[in-house]
Structure 1
């Protein structure tokens, strides 16, 4: 099914065109109806249309400006314009922008039918588009599912002719609040390739992952490492794992291989910096063992915990973390081992169980393991977390209550500013991970998530009370300089795009 976006500022014409498209050809799905080009551009990356049908004369952003922007952001999208017999100059400019499909006003059924037939023929001839669609189907379907499109089944033999394929998988834990860019030019994919090879970017289902498939002539462990190292060299600040694996049959092996890579990357996430992993052929994903806790040391820690002797307990904790096995372990091993040990204490000592629940120990352990940038920060955060088991938690200390309320008020009133967690922590004179844990313990959300909710609540208010404001202006007013990111975030958190939310409120 092909996705089509329709942009027309006259509601009756817009409704008529969309109704006719739906009745004429079921191979086309309308994924967006817009009254001006700006609204369409804000949601272009969300709906990923194969076809854009737009009027020329529109407020805010006219059709030709929209086409020019779409050509830059989504060059594979086929653009068609609604035009009249007297709009020759606009038609000429549209031709200069690469537009070859025109629909005369008023749009008649036979004209729309011809337009859809011509566009569909072009879509089927678009090799990059077809390859992208097939890869997306194979990457995210279940192993037992069948490919639904007959056309794709017939054409699949014409593509993907390389002897071997390498799947490059980059992943960053969502707790880090850092996304991976999807722009191909950033990753310089041409540098990956030898003559005759080809790289494809699979649209991710999460902004925290990046998937690239490279068709290669020959494969070796050295080449796999080179490809993985190339991707890691273009990663932004943050913590990442990169894995590479070679496969032969994309249609049957791509989905299980991506699942395997994610599991291996997730379980093998390092304590320090970045790490490239290589998975050869059908090598099985291994389950990492838990890290050792010497029985004598465990007994001493248990006794000191029960007797509430914090200083001596923390010394034993440092001794545990200094062990060679722990120093070379992964984040997942630390998380699994510490969770297992805490569960043992909880089952043995009811008082520990009560305190662990009060401080949300399980959730905070997972957050700090993934958020801390290195081993030193992890150990410091773990000491702070274990220290809370020794504190009297029946009543929150007045000092802590004071700064958490002050931080909440700061986010409520300064939401339009560029706010970073590290800067906020420095402002309040506490460790960033500690600040996040205490704030979440009290209010149920991390400071970043709370800030997003404050901003989106204000954006909703502005949309309701000032419907004439452009979305880009609303985005800036609530602290987002990038209107496209604002639109994505709005959709992610509310389930609606800003335009859909506005239409809903106007119809109520």
Structure 2
């Protein structure tokens, strides 16, 4: 069975050994992964070993059990803490309760009592894990959350590029009946407020938040007799959006249905509704463009008036077509070039190249499109201070590159290889940046190790980064936790002072960042095997 990890903190070595020896840890569901003789030492062990449970005495030198518990609560809130003490002190118990300790027991520790407590803690940990893993519970929560999940998916679907396979899998998973159509089209629905006269005649207008619900019912009723569809609330440009799947139905017929919806809402609810109808698309991956054009159609309300349908083709007749490296293309490309992986880069650059190759537009539009792609590439290169000539070629000027690429059949291959090169350069830059950060952190430690209050939080304020991320990269780059590194720096400086000066031990302790001479001596002896005084005497 999986055993939970536990650390024992007590300044009396005999007590620690006695407890470790007497308890049948495995039968209680635990394994002892470490022990410590004070709170400072315990905190280092906790950072290194990340135990599930900490057993700690209250009365200890350097850092007492309650202070240790407070720091555990700040840094490791899910860790269970059991406090035991030889002092039946009500004030200690009160503070322990405020710190949300799991148990508070008195010394001497009774084997049966502690075993019972450990089993109780194990049972609680088991229940926590089981609750988080419980399939039925997760399935029920998923079922309750499904409407919200669907809404989020729809909003993502019309705002960011997704692979068709991903869209289709989610449509099936969320039981959304719009897959497998010949064409798809978006209707962006704008519900306006009723006028002052209608507010006086309809009680519904006294509760305006109910109006969109009623509109949604009417839209669903009308569309259900004509086509497959899905409705969702938009988080951005339109209040309500209909994604319509067209099989053998015509766009003209759909426009008539949308027009009937506008009339019906006006007749029943006395509320003007305008529906912007976008371009149809033959692939679900193009649904973003249909949505954008539907929103653009709504924008013509100021020109033609509201309260009816506005079809984008009526406002912007289809001619040779449009080719544009838009915000979605740019965002998708930047995400791929910055974060990879190679498969993502290949897919994104292939879509960009295909969009250029398949567009039936004038030469100048293709040239502008390539200009947009290259402009985005250059922005990324400049952001990471990458050598521009190494990427685009020193012998080619900017405009020549645009002209050359527009004419090349292998634009997709060039874009893929160039993007891979930039991605690698960015990764290298990140590695260099990380090393610089660690070097700066080391220098900050060297400049401030004398400060007894020096902490991860203080360093991170200086570096403008989060403690969690800093701790991760510091350990990865140095092979040491921050506390262990700081202790090593302080002790190395202490050795230097012991060898080169006649300062008293308490003065040296203060100079290297230890407020308590006794704790300095304890840490020093733990590393070097002798006290500072004996170390000096042996030189």
TM-score normalised by structure 1 residue count: 0.41
Q: Which has the larger radius of gyration?
A: 2
